[in-house]
């Protein structure tokens, strides 16, 4: 019975997160109420608050859930001995995530409201970019200990890799421009970016 109860609770949590991200993307954080999230998720308002104590907390969890859905989690970086494989896989997962319509919509919404609601941009940065940067930074420190790579400031290296992976495609999507012409080359761009990045930090033996 306990297992069934936990499963139902987790299912409701996922329903709430899915509803929240759709509403936050569609109409913006300030215009989204917990009542609306509850209605869209098909649960009571009390259930929403039972899982998430505030709208801020729900927003952060919704952004973080996008990282989990796209498999950018700590488990991806479990092997510091094989950064070539881990970072290539990260590159593909990261690309899927940052180029998704949801990610672009949330980013645009935060930028559009940055002057009047800078707190939302801060929440977004903490839950999204900062979350990924810290994951990479920690991984680079572990990789350094193996001895084949020297990253120096691991956080700077993490930021550098993420911005390189954004590439032309993310820039065009943010501007609402067509990307059909560069989609076929995207996997090769990711592969070459990871190879160049690691080559730059490899220690001379």
> 133: pLDDT confidence band, cut at 50, 70 and 90?
very high
- For residue 201, what are the contacts with CB-CB under 8 A and spacing of at least 6? 149, 150, 151, 152, 157
CA proximity to 105, closest of 173, 164, 50: 173
Global pTM reads 0.81
SS3 149: strand
pLDDT of residue 191: 97
The number of beta carbons lying within 10 Å of the beta carbon of residue 95 is: 21
* Sign for the pseudo-dihedral over CA of 65, 66, 69, 70: negative
Q: What is the pLDDT of residues 20-76, one digit of tens each?
A: 988 887 787 888 999 999 999 999 999 999 999 999 899 888 887 776 667 777 788
pLDDT of residue 1: 43
Tokens found for residue 7: 């499963």
Q: Name the β-bridge partners of 149.
A: 202
Q: What is the pLDDT of residues 112-121, one digit of tens each?
A: 888 888 888 8
Beta carbons of 173 and 120 less than 8 angstroms apart: no
Q: What is the pLDDT of residues 86-104, one digit of tens each?
A: 999 999 998 888 888 878 8
Looking from the CA of 168 toward its CB, the CA atoms found within 13 Å total 11
Place of tokens 């990307």: 179
> 142: pLDDT confidence band, cut at 50, 70 and 90?
very high
> 188: pLDDT confidence band, cut at 50, 70 and 90?
very high
pLDDT of residue 128: 85
- Is residue 178 pLDDT above 70, yes or no? yes
| Whole-angstrom distance, CA of residue 10 vs CA of residue 68 | 14
């Amino acid at each position: 019975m306990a297992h069934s109860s936990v499963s139902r609770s987790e299912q409701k949590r996922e329903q709430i997160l899915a509803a929240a991200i759709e509403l936050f993307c569609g109409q913006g954080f300030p215009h989204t109420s917990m009542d609306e999230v509850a209605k869209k998720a098909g649960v009571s308002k009390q259930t929403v608050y039972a899982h998430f104590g505030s709208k801020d907390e729900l927003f952060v969890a919704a952004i973080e859930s996008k990282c989990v859905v796209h498999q950018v989690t700590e488990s991806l970086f479990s092997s510091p001995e094989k950064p070539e494989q881990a970072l290539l896989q990260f590159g593909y997962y990261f690309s899927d995530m940052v180029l998704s319509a949801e990610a672009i919509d949330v980013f645009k919404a935060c930028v559009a409201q940055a002057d009047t609601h800078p707190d939302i941009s801060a929440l977004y940065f903490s839950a999204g970019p900062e979350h990924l940067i810290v994951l990479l930074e920690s991984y680079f420190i572990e990789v350094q200990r193996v001895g084949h790579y020297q990253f120096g400031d691991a956080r700077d290296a993490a930021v550098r890799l993420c911005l390189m992976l954004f590439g032309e495609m993310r820039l065009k999507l943010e501007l609402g421009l067509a990307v059909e012409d560069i989609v076929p080359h995207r996997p090769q761009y990711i592969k070459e970016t990871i190879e160049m990045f690691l080559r730059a930090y490899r220690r001379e033996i």
